[in-house]
Amino acid sequence: MPRYSYDRLTALDHSFLFLERPHAPMHVGSVAIHELGALESREGGVDIDLLRRGIAGVLHRIPRYRQRLAWVPIEGTPVWVDDEGFNLDYHVRHTSLPRPGDMHQLRQLAARVMAQRLDRARPLWEMWVVEGLEGDRFALLSKVHHCMIDGVSGVDLMNVLMSPSPDAEIFEPSPFVPRPAPTPFELLRDEVLRRARLPFEALRDVRKLLREAEDARREVGIRARALRETLGGVLRRAAPTPLNERISPHRRFDWLVLPVDELKAVRRALGGSLNDVVLATVTGAVRRFLEQRRFPVEGLDFRVMAPVSVRADNERGRLGNRVSAWLVPLPLAEPDPAVRLRMLAARTAELKQARQAVAAEVLTQAADWTPATLLALGARNITRQLPFHLVVTNVPGPQVPLFLLGSRMLEIYPVVPLLDGLGLGIALFSYDGKLCWGVNADWDLVPDLDRFVTCVEEAFDELRTLARRTASGEKRAAPTRRAPKSPPAEPAPH
């Protein structure tokens, strides 16, 4: 048994390190707004020492947060090793807005913080506590590198750090004893042995598929067709638009909130799923936004990349990425919002039937066999020839209030990273009856980000108005029930 310990990154996790550039950091994040509550200090700010003690008490349940990257010599493959110099104070930072800070100032601060890269020599996360927010509130800005988590595992982290009860319980920190890290020679030797085993593991996986599939020939055929369709979409470069040019190092960030009940009402009246309603809203917003810039949408093949979780129930609580993707064309040229929703619902139903997400997962699994140098080359080519225009990720969250050491979280706005060729990104998170939209944008490409957020609100209002008319029309058209006939009256007694 080896004297050392480490965890190897998957090819998908590794790809987020390759995709990162000095002007394009690859961390995901969030801006959460909390009541001061039990975290209020005597001076009226945030008791940062109490917060750090609370985080230290649960950090042993998130071991990746005390690990850093190490690299296999020659091969260049990254692995996770325990950080022998871990310091919580470095990762949990404390700052303030000029009191009373407003939402505009918080958005500006969040954009600046999110634009800064994480230090790869340390565990790849930061948490910024921002006090001074008007209304006895504070904000929590969270940054975690995408190679550590996806959206669903990020929700699992919320369950560790937060509680559905306002009664705060602070646990004593468990002693952190870093496990010995391997030497460069040991890493290289292990990698050589792992690659020697890959053909046998691939053969074993094929045998398992043939043994477990109810209809092996049909299963292989479905995967092959899905893979062919996925590759066809991936190999088509996205058409140029004002939103899809080289990005700068600077960001703008904005947000909005929509009630989940209103999205459900639209779904009931007009059809589709909640995610279809979201995509229809995005379609209407992009259409309006491009038309206001006098950019023609007729004939524009505008595609969205929508991440899809493939995390099994028994994988909940594990970090890393278990995510695939759909490529969804948005019907921007269609003027009728109800028709757009029906078109999107039909398309997503086709994608589910074609199992495109499974095909993308097959590609990422195959990448685990690929040398790091070829992965790096592939990542560079992807950024030069992106097959989509926009990322829209929608993560379901808890529908009950959560508390951080007794401090209630009011809203949380997710942040999706940008790549060259992606000047705009949309992330959504449902929480406590609200659908919170976080919109990240390049500073130069989208100087009018507030206008795009307004377009989102207008596009959803269009759907909501149609849904109300449809619902009221159905009520008027519903046949009235006839009253049951009364039994014949009995003769009066003489």
Does 391 fall in a domain?
yes
pLDDT at 403: 95
- CATH assignment of the domain containing 51: 3.30.559.10
Into how many domains does the chain fold?
2
Whether 151 and 240 share a structural domain: no
Locate 45 and state its tokens: 């700010």
Does one domain contain both 94 and 158?
yes
Residues 17 and 156 in one domain: yes
Residue 442 lies in a domain: yes
In a domain? residue 262: yes
Express each pLDDT in 132-145 by its tens digit. 999 999 999 999 99
Kindly state whether residues 144 and 230 are assigned to the same domain: no
Radius of gyration over every alpha carbon of the chain, rounded to an integer in angstroms: 26
Pairing of the two strands 390-395 and 92-101: unpaired
Residues 162 and 220 in one domain: no
* 425, 445 Cβ separation under 8 angstroms: no
Calpha distance 164→30 (Å, rounded): 19
Both 237 and 131 in one domain: the answer is no
Tokens 């590198």 identify what position? 145
Give backbone dihedrals phi and psi of 74, rounded to 5 degrees, phi first. Answer: 70, -60
**Residue 354 CB: number of other CB atoms within 10 A?**
17
1 part of a folded domain: no
State the Cα–Cα distance between residues 438 and 427, nearest whole angstrom. 5
Q: Buried b vs exposed e over 213-247: b needs ≥16 C-beta within 10 Å? A: eeeeeebeebbeebbebbeebbeeebeebebbeeb
Three-class DSSP labels, 22-62? CCECCEEEEEEEEECHHHECCCCCECHHHHHHHHHHHHHHC
Pairing of strands 67-71, 78-82: antiparallel
Question: Does residue 204 lie within any of the structural domains?
Answer: no
Domain membership of residue 38 (yes or no) is yes
Asked if residue 121 and residue 230 are part of one domain, the reply reads no
Is residue 202 assigned to a domain?
no
Alpha carbon 366 to its chain's center: 23
Residues 127, 271, single domain; the answer is: no
**pLDDT for residue 208:** 57
Q: Which one, of 401, 483, 351, lies nearest residue 167 by Cα?
A: 401
Distances (CA, A) of 445 to 166, 246, 258, 359, 462: 42, 9, 26, 33, 27
In a shared domain, residues 112 and 245:
no
Whether 269 and 143 map to the same domain: the answer is no
Contact between residue 406 and residue 39 where contact means Cβ atoms under 8 Å apart: yes
Contact at 8 Å (CB) between 431 and 412? yes
Q: Which two tokens stand for residue 377?
A: 């080359």
Same domain, 241 and 119: no
Residue 446 belongs to a domain with what CATH number?
Answer: 3.30.559.30
Looking at the domain assignment, is residue 294 inside a domain? yes
Between CA 467 and CA 490 the distance in angstroms is 50
The whole-angstrom distance between residue 448's C-alpha and the CA centroid of its chain comes to: 23
Domain that includes residue 330, residue range: 216-475
Is residue 286 domain-shared with residue 369, that is, in the same domain? yes
| One-letter identity of residue 300 | L
pLDDT tens for the chain, 494 residues: list them. 568 899 988 877 888 898 899 999 999 999 999 999 999 999 889 999 999 999 999 888 888 999 999 999 987 889 999 999 999 999 999 999 999 999 999 999 999 999 999 999 999 999 999 999 999 999 999 999 998 875 444 555 677 888 999 987 888 988 899 999 999 999 999 888 887 876 766 666 556 555 555 554 544 454 445 445 544 545 567 889 999 999 999 999 999 999 999 999 999 999 999 999 999 999 999 999 999 999 999 999 999 988 765 444 454 445 444 445 788 999 999 999 999 999 999 998 888 775 544 444 444 444 444 444 444 444 454 556 788 999 999 988 889 999 999 999 999 999 999 999 999 999 999 999 999 999 999 999 999 999 999 999 999 999 999 999 998 876 665 554 444 444 444 444 43
Q: What digits encode the pLDDT tens for the residues 62-77?
A: 889 999 999 999 878 8
CA angle 201, 207, 209 (to 5 degrees): 105
Q: What is the DSSP string of 445-471?
A: T-TTHHHHHHHHHHHHHHHHHHHHHHH
